[in-house]
Amino acid sequence: MEDIQRDITLKDYTSYKVGGPAEYFFIAKNIEELKRALVWAKDKGLKTTILGGGSNVVISDKGLMGLVIVNKSHDIDIEGNSVRADSGVLLKALVNKVLESGKGGIEFLANIPGTVGGAVAVNAGCYRKFAADFLISATIFHSRASDGNTLKVAEQSGDSFRVEEEWMNGCIEEVGKDSSSVTKWNREEENVKLGGLSIPLHQVTGGQVKSSNKPMFCVEKVKNDFFEFKYRSSKIKRGYEAIVLDATFEINDTDMGESRKFITEDRERRDMKHPTEPSCGSYFKNPSKENIAGELIEKSGIKGYQIGGAQVSEKHANFIINTGEANASDIKNLANYIKKIVKEKTGLELEEEVKYLGEFE
């Protein structure tokens, strides 16, 4: 595949400015490029890591094996009271586009760093509003295990076959086609055409499609409840292997002046409270509504504590900042120390919002 690079350092693609090299590296400028890169990696048996804004991850100093894709997809479509956005769209850009159309409702996302895909995966939010409250549906790329059964072919024309949607469980559709025309391929070809992509998943024999031992990867539109959202979490963040390709949110009529005022005041509050040094934003989840992570850390007496180049911010205790010389190990070691001290002092356990990527000691 063209434009795949090797051994590219990842620190320039994260808000923390830390991280080692990617074994393989690709920048996807749109959803089609993103899907092709995902298929390329699956075909080669490579692990895939997607980076959007890189604002909620700590990447190992050893780097990442497999393919790292920086998602720069950017399309936004507004129709009535809904907006569909590619997963690589920055949240600020999404909110601005919605406001330009005279709609609103998702202004709380405007000053959260990150992208649409990340916001869905982690259920981003503030002021007791969350992405889950407004998400209508999303398109995902994920896998389904093959059961090894012989699968029914609906139609045969020479050496070409059309497969009923039923055995695909409705999970593959070609763009611009209805669900009755799911996919076609030739029995002489190794690769199966799925939604315009070429994926080596099944072999065609004697007018029937037989499952291979490989998992089936598919593009599927899913509703809100698929994600099983919880506070700062979804089934994807909890380990389900899927990539968000786009998301559709509910929007509504708004008072433009009030919406702009809210965003400006929110930005000013953040500037007053939050440090300017590289960080991922709030590092730990609040254990409960009554127990705020930053307050617990401050009460534990470790505001300003430092390991290597990583420091508990003096401005906001739930921020671990890179003072300029931090590496990923410094950040993770400091996070572990914070958890240990808070547990000793308060009896409460802190859980990271940030995701660790790669191998740590």
**Rounded CA gap, 329 and 335, in Å?**
10
Would you call 154 helix, strand, or coil by DSSP?
strand
Among 116, 73, 67, which Cα is nearest to 92's? Answer: 116
Q: Is 250 among the residues known to form the active site?
A: no
Q: Is 180 among the residues known to form the active site?
A: no
Residue among 282, 300, 313, 329 flagged as catalytic? 282
Within 10 angstroms of residue 317's Cβ, the number of other Cβ atoms is 24
Q: Up-side HSE of residue 350: CA atoms within 13 Å toward CB?
A: 30
174 and 221 in contact (C-beta within 8 Å)?
no
219 and 64 in contact (C-beta within 8 Å)?
no
Residue among 33, 60, 220, 232 flagged as catalytic? 232
User: Distances in Å between the alpha carbon of 122 and those of 102, 218, 249, 314?
Assistant: 28, 22, 15, 26
Positive or negative, the Cα torsion across 88, 93, 99, 105? positive
Q: Is 282 among the residues known to form the active site?
A: yes
**Rounded CA gap, 151 and 163, in Å?**
9
Amino acid type, 314: E
Active site residues: 232, 282, 353
